[in-house]
Amino acid sequence: MPEKIAALYASDAPPRIKPSNYPEPFASLMAGRVKRPLGDLFGLSNFGVNLTSLSPGSVSALHHRHSRQDEFIYVIDGEPTLLTDEGEIQLKPGMVAGFAASGTAHHLENRTDKTCVVLEVGDRSEGDEVSYPSDDIAAVRGDDGKWHFTHKDGTPY
């Protein structure tokens, strides 16, 4: 059984072993993104917390929206560009953004020459589904707590 952690520097948390849950060809698009799942280290199950680093030219995720999950981000370092259905916003350290369930589709892009660091928080609502308006992919959070991906027509990847 792993040793229980009381506290640590977020930047010392180990990165995800598998850099992306997306199937190919989408997983490769996440090159340059490093997620450190902070909440998992403490056994949190109701919500997730990630420290995410985006190297220059990388993206946080495919453009997406959740059906039941709320998401929140806090920019720690760098100046990522937030893309939503309403347009683009250049974010700076200290800025926050939130995405209500079934709200605007969104993702971040690092269009700068400096690494961006963002704290991501999202709940783990049962029955959550993710739609990707720009890509032929859909996701459903299964009873096993894992994401299951299909094409938009329901055929598996």
**pLDDT tens figures, 129-157:** 999 999 999 999 888 878 999 999 999 99
Q: DSSP per residue over 82-105, as a string? A: EEETTEEEE--TT-EEEE-TTS--
* H or E segment to which residue 129 belongs: strand 129-131
Q: Is the pLDDT of residue 2 over 70?
A: no
Percent of the chain predicted with pLDDT > 70? 98
Per the document, the length of the chain is: 157
Q: Is the pLDDT of residue 107 over 90?
A: yes
Q: Is the pLDDT of residue 38 over 80?
A: yes
Reading the block at residue 4, the tokens are 């229980």
Spatial separation of the C-alpha atoms in residues 93 and 64, rounded to whole Å: 23
pLDDT for the residue 1: 43
